[in-house]
Structure 1
Amino acid sequence: MNRKRIARVMRERDIRGVTRRKRHSLTRPDKKAKPAPDLIGRDFHAERPGIKLVGDITCLPTAEGWLYLACWLDLATREVVGYAMADHHRAELVVDALDMADGRGNLEPGCVIHSDRGSEYTSTQFRDRIRQLGLRSSCGRTGSCFDNAAAESFWALLKEEIGNRI
């Protein structure tokens, strides 16, 4: 059988192929804020825990609506040292996750906190909190998922494990 016959039979029986939903990016750069320099430079290895963290936000569909999850991964152990969940993706979400990472992750002074250039990570609230904790902020380039590949890889694995629940 050729593809035209398959298409005709599918049309007659109202059969449609499964298509993936369109992907939406959460990264919205803050036009006013100057982003931090890239201190990691795609080197996603750390000699010891508490010196390099990478973070990102993702959205997960639930029966009640979208859930936003922010996390911080330690590059030495690949463990999630801080996370926060909410029904929004404002700056306080990543600040709450960073506070958990600070409490649980034994972060050294001057620890590099790497993220993308989303408005949550370039916000005054987030930068003030990094300064208060004595940490250093780092951002990848705009539109380059490879600059935050460790966090993106974690989200891909998480979403593959939980599957599509809706």
Structure 2
Amino acid sequence: MPTGYRACTPHCGRLGRAVNRKRVEQLMREHGIAGVTRRRRRSLTRPDKQARPAPDPLGRDFTAARPGTRLVGDITDLPTREGWLYLACWLDLATREVVGYAMADHHRAELVVDALRMAHGRDNLEPGCIMHSDHLNPPNTPPPNCVLRYARWVLVGAPAATGSCFDNAAADSFWAVLTEEIGTRLWPDRATARAEVFTFVETFYNRRRLRKHPHFGYLTPHETRQRLPNDQALAPGARSGT
């Protein structure tokens, strides 16, 4: 369930209750309802001083005309009483769907590749698909270009610059949504965390969470995917926020 008044308002409309955003904000304030405070994330990026910088074809333009052409990825960590659970995700910029994800008790290169394999199987990636990410360089792993080359489906890899959150803002925005909406701050074990992340991605985020598309209005990522192939008026590069 959305926690902020901006998210609650379009959901009320879908339930047949036409209500103004300010009215929702007023009712939440009167009843002491507030959004969840977002957890501050640890940085998992490890700069490789010897690696040659890769070009950035996106240039902070996190949009795509059609699915399977531009993806952004990142790794985060989830705290459990057994230790950290690491989660790698790839999002399609045309729909903002999570098309590939993987979880493990490590953040080595194969975690990213496992998530990329899922993205390839579900998103029908086109030749030349741009895979944009942070450096994704945990200790004792290959540099990011090698990680992407292992996947074999990617012709262009575009690691973001270390230390600049704006270079991978779309992925960072998804992590913020996950930590805010999922609610849990500490899981009892990795198995429970895995199950909750699976439910969040497959049941809520991709199919129930609404976001405002500049042309279609409020839709879920899954509904956006269904609209895009049939819409001829959508201009290439049309902007859409998370």
How would you bin the TM-score normalised by the shorter chain? Answer: 0.7 to 0.9
Alignment gaps of 5+ in structure 2: 1-37, 187-242
CA distance in 1: counterparts of 2:46 and 2:102, whole angstroms: 19
Q: Report SS of the residue matched to 1:157.
A: helix
Greater share of strand: 1
Matches within 5 A, 1:6-155: 23-119=41-137, 122-123=143-144, 125-130=146-151, 132-155=152-175
Ranges in structure 1 where 5+ consecutive residues have no aligned partner: 1-19
Q: 1:134 to 1:65 in 2, by over 3 A?
A: closer
Change (3 A) 1:21 1:44: closer
What code does the residue aligned with 1:139 have? P
Q: TM-score, normalised by structure 1?
A: 0.80
Structure 1 runs (4+) greater than 3 angstroms displaced: 20-23
Tell me the equivalent position of 2:176. Answer: 156
User: Residue 136 of structure 1 aligns to which amino acid in structure 2?
Assistant: V
Distance 2:40 2:128 in 1: 39
TM-score (norm 2): 0.56
Higher relative CO (CA 8 A, sep ≥ 6), structure 1 or 2? 1
- In 2 relative to 1, CA 67–51 (structure 1 residues): closer, same or farther, beyond 3 Å? same
Given that 1:50 and 1:108 are in contact with CA atoms closer than 8 Å, whether structure 2 keeps it comes out as: yes
